[in-house]
């Protein structure tokens, strides 16, 4: 499958550890863990769909939770397995977020879908991944779904760092000339959305939104300033970020968003 080819290429060479070792790169992880921490309880069972190399799965297993993980790409599964420490109650299987039939209905207290929606290019596929995540979660359980947000990425990858040629994207139709809404295909790797798209995807699911969070807020846009902060200033920045990351007037500027909802 074409998508698999592009994902294999990307994730087999991606330096995730390098990104996370920088202060700006840690904001999204710390924010997501903070929100998971608001809902997870002793003895909970966790499923991580699209677990990658296992940042969240291993962190939660080391806190004593039972974690099952699913990941599409073999290279990530190898790294995930190498990262497993003695004493972790954890499993990983190769699988696709679109079909979790290896997992029973109503099983998990916490379900994480932190990545697959970045790489599903139609509404129907995104809804199918959400439907599967909801199915395997027990009634009352909490689901965490992450998205890449187009305006944050355009500002950071485009206007700040020039990794995206904005003029070219407009010319080729990847960005709408009037609204700057993004469009992508498997060759473009990342599917960029806005909050209105997330709201529309979620409209017909019988779930209750608990939080919609700008998980890295301005951290990528402010990467140079944040990486130069001493530890005390960075702690203050995190206090600011945690205090403001659900403010409606700051949501669109984030590069990643976290939708937290209850089944």
Ligand X SMILES: C[S@@+](CC[C@H](N)C(=O)[O-])C[C@H]1O[C@@H](n2cnc3c(N)ncnc32)[C@H](O)[C@@H]1O
| Cβ 35 to ligand X shortest distance, Å | 13
- The answer to whether 261 and 137 are in contact (CB under 8 A) is no
Cα first-last separation, the chain: 32
Our CB check for ligand X shows the closer of 170 and 189 to be 189
In this complex, which beta carbon is closest to ligand X, that of residue 78 or of residue 239?
A: 78
| SS3 label, residue 193 | strand
Interface residues with ligand X (CB under 6 A) are: 7, 11, 49-52, 55-56, 70-73, 76, 96-98, 114-116, 118-119
> Nearest distance from residue 198's CB to ligand X, in Å?
17
What DSSP line would sit under 211-246, residue for residue?
EEEESSTTTTTTHHHHHT--HHHHHHHHHHHHHHTT
For ligand X, the closer CB: 70 or 198: 70
Beta strands in 65-198 (DSSP E): 66-71, 90-94, 108-113, 137-149, 192-193
Q: Min. distance of Cβ 90 from ligand X in angstroms?
A: 14
Whether the CA torsion 44, 50, 53, 56 is positive or negative: it is negative
- Residue 240 CB, shortest distance to ligand X, in Å, is 23
49 or 154: CB nearest ligand X: 49
């Amino acid at each position: 499958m074409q998508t698999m080819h592009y994902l294999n290429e990307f994730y087999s060479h991606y330096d995730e550890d390098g990104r996370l070792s920088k202060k700006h790169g840690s904001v999204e992880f710390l924010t997501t863990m903070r929100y998971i921490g608001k809902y997870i309880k002793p003895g909970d069972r966790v499923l991580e769909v699209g677990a990658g190399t296992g940042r969240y799965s291993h962190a939660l297993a080391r806190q004593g939770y039972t974690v099952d993980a699913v990941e599409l790409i073999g290279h990530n599964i190898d790294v995930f397995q190498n990262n497993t420490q003695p004493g972790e109650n954890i499993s990983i299987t190769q699988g696709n977020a679109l079909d979790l039939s290896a997992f029973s209905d109503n099983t998990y207290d916490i379900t994480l879908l932190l990545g697959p929606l970045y790489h599903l290019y139609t509404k129907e596929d995104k809804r199918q991944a959400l439907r599967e995540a909801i199915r395997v979660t027990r009634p009352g359980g909490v689901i965490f779904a992450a998205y890449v947000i187009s305006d944050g990425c355009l500002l950071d990858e485009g206007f700040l760092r020039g990794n995206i040629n904005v003029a070219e994207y407009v010319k080729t139709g990847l960005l709408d000339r009037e609204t700057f809404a993004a469009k992508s295909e498997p060759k473009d790797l990342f599917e960029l959305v806005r909050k209105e798209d997330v709201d529309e995807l979620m409209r017909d699911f019988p779930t209750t939104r608990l939080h919609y969070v700008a998980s890295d807020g301005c951290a990528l846009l402010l990467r140079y300033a944040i990486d130069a902060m001493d530890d005390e200033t960075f702690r203050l920045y995190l206090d600011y970020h945690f205090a403001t990351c659900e403010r409606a007037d700051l949501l669109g500027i984030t590069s990643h968003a976290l939708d937290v909802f209850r089944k």
